[in-house]
């Protein structure tokens, strides 16, 4: 990150919404990620469990987040993720990084990424890798926003 302009590194912290879409009630992993992001200096909004796509997108817009991290273990990702991305598009939101983690079968990753979800993280992914991913995608996004 040494090649990024200083103002990108000193402006407001990265704001991340960590969300659990659908009926999945297992939130330990999401809470671990939320805590790691917070410890890395990011502002984290954790929505809690059993969030609808509408609730997630509304919270992301209201909180003016830079990124949404979706955590899912239930297997309903191919029903819920497209709806989240559709709602972002309907609300003309194109400047929020979206990534997903949890139980995501390898064969579904191309379809998930085709939705516009930039990162997919499975069990065993280190918190450092996720933190690095968020930073590496949000800072250039901010730079592009400043230029345009």
pLDDT digits (tens, 9 = 90+) for 75-88: 999 999 999 999 99
Hey, what domains does the chain have and what are their CATH numbers? 12-147 (3.40.50.280)
Q: What are 65-115's pLDDT values in tens digits?
A: 999 999 999 999 999 999 999 999 999 999 999 999 999 999 999 999 999
Residue 37 CB partners (closer than 8 Å, separation 6+)? 16, 18, 44, 69, 127, 130, 131, 134
- What are the residues facing 84 on neighbouring strands? none
Kindly state the tokens that stand for 5.
């302009």
Q: What percent of the chain has pLDDT over 90?
A: 81
Does 127 score more than 90 pLDDT? yes
- 3 pLDDT band, cuts 50/70/90, is low
């Amino acid at each position: 990150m040494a090649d990024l302009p200083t103002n990108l590194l000193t402006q407001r912290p990265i704001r991340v919404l960590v969300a659990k879409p659908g009926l999945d009630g297992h939130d330990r992993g999401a809470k671990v990620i939320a805590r790691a992001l917070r410890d890395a200096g990011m502002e984290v909004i954790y929505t809690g469990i059993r969030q609808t796509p509408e609730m997630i997108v509304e919270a992301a817009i209201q909180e003016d987040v830079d990124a949404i991290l979706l955590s899912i273990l239930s297997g309903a990702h191919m029903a819920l993720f497209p709806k989240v991305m559709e709602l972002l598009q309907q609300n003309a939101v194109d400047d929020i990084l979206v990534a997903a983690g949890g139980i995501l079968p390898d064969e579904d990753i191309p379809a998930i990424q085709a939705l516009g979800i930039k990162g997919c993280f499975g069990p065993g992914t280190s918190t450092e890798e996720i933190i690095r991913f968020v930073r590496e995608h949000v800072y250039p996004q901010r730079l592009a926003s400043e230029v345009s």
